[in-house]
Each structure stands twice: as structure tokens, then as C-alpha cells.
Amino acid sequence: MITLYEGAFAKINLTLDVLGKRADGYHDIKSVMQTISLRDDIEIDLGTGKAWSLLCDKEGIPTDSTNLAWKAAEVFFGATGKDPDGLQIRITKRIPVEAGLGGGSADAAAVLRALNRHYEMPLSLPALAELGARVGSDVPFCVLCGTATVEGRGDRIRRMPDMPDCIFVVCKPDFSVSTPELYRELDEKVIGKRPDHQAMERAFLSGDLEQIVTNVYNVFDPIVTEAHLELNYIKSIMNSYGAVGMQMTGSGSAVFGICSNFENAAVICNMLRGNYPLVYIAKPV
């Protein structure tokens, strides 16, 4: 039996725009995404000689073939024709669920990377990301990691310069948001403000953190905040104690603050933790 190990990194959306509904029922999006050091850990046993299984240390996570990590293993072995002779996946969960942080997608991407490396890279990284699109919309980006502009259903990815040095504080309040319902609500609204992706790209090309922060924007944020005003409270704490920018990620409900130094991030974390136990400090990766 062989055991593989891989980190599964959370993502945040520095920008997120919804461009319209597609014929297949999904929506086209455009987003600048960033992976951060908040991570799950994935272990994969190959050659167990037993039926496939999945274990997770957090209750409520699917442990059958509906889990994206399991699906990732299925598509990998289906595409490559390899036979693991039994498999077990173990997930140590740290990324909050239903937060807009891509935890399930990150787990799936980690499975793809670990298996591809073990079998001596039968797939190039772009091909592995393309395979990930069969599992979920955020999986291709999570395969690649780093900083990128993501378009379409998440399948068109263009690398961006690295994020300048900064520290993220991520806070997950105790409510979650239905992503399908949020998309339906957005379809019925006129989007008054959209992120300026050209300005964001110029900011990254210049490595200017101040300008990057100025252009952070998510079209879902006002809708979720209108229904859950505590997001404004979280942002106000972040702003009051030194964050240079703050925004909800994905379809929520986690909020991230961007700090230029660790000291401010630590203070924000301490100020929020009394009311919100799911608060994390992370770096861009």
C-alpha cells in the first residue's frame, strides 16, 4: 500500500462578476481568484485491495461518491486507465464549508495533483485542470493555484502576476447562503456596479497592493449584505483595526480582509473571534 499526501488550498475571489445565464443553465462569470494558505490536508491510500472509501474528520461532509474528492479520483482513473487496486481518501478539514472558499473544489484538485504526480505525470497541468472541469467549476483554478483571471464556467484561466505581499483575515459567520438561490436573485436584478477587471489587471502588473485593494469587488456582496447586515459589522471591525480592503468571497458567506502586515491581521482576528469562532489568518500562495 502507498500513501500520498497533498495540501488543498482555499480560494478567494478578489473580483467576481456574473455576465449572464448560459443555454446549459449555468452562468458565465469573470473573476480574479487567489489561493491562500488556509488548507485542508488530503491523504490517499492506493493498493488497499478493498472497495473505495472516504473519511473526513468533520461531520456533515459526504463520504461517498457524491464528494468532489471521490469524483476527482473517478475521473482521473477513467481518463488515464490506471487501476489503483483499492483506494481510500482521508480529508482533514480546515476550510469552512458553504463559505465561498472553494473547500470541496480544493479537495478535488488536491486529489488530481497527488494522483498525477504519483503516476509520473501522465497529464500536463493544463490537461489536469481541464479534467477538473468535469468535477466542478472551481476545480480547474484550484488545480493550478496562485493568481488568475477565470472566465466562462471557470474553465478559461489566464495566469496573473503574483499577489503582492499581504496578509488575509478570513471570517466565516454562522450562516450560509444558497448559491443557486443567489444566482436566481441576481438574474432578477439590475447589477448597478461591476468590477473593473482592466483596472485590476493594471494593478497586478504594477504590483500595487493599494490599487488592487481599490478594485476588489463582488457583485454578490450587496445582495447578501442586504439580507445579513452582520457582514457590515465584520467589515467595520476589519476596517477599524487596519485592513486596507475587505469583501465577501464567492457566493458567501465568508468575508476576507486584506492587511499590509501581520500585526493588524492578528488584532482583527482577536477582535472578531469572540463572536465568530471561524476566523483565520492566511497568506497568498
Q: Is residue 107 helix, strand or coil?
A: helix
- From residue 278, give the alpha-carbon distance in Å to each of 61, 96, 169, 202: 17, 8, 11, 33
- In the residue annotation, 11 being an active-site residue is answered as yes
**How far is the C-alpha of 183 from the C-alpha of 27, rounded, in Å?**
8
Could you tell me how many residues make up the chain? 285
Of the candidates 17, 40, 138, 221, the residue annotated as catalytic is 138
Neighbour-count burial of 266, counting CB atoms closer than 10 A to its CB (0-12 exposed, 13-18 middle, 19+ buried): middle
145 near 31, Cβ under 8 Å? no
Helices (H) and strands (E) counted in the chain, each on its own, are 10, 11
- In the residue annotation, 107 being an active-site residue is answered as no
115 near 79, Cβ under 8 Å? no
- From residue 131, give the alpha-carbon distance in Å to each of 17, 121, 250: 24, 13, 22
User: Strands, DSSP E only, in the chain?
Assistant: 2-21, 27-46, 53-56, 87-92, 147-152, 156-159, 167-171, 217-218, 245-248, 255-259, 279-282
- From residue 2, give the alpha-carbon distance in Å to each of 56, 128, 183, 265: 19, 22, 42, 40
Annotated catalytic residues are 11, 138
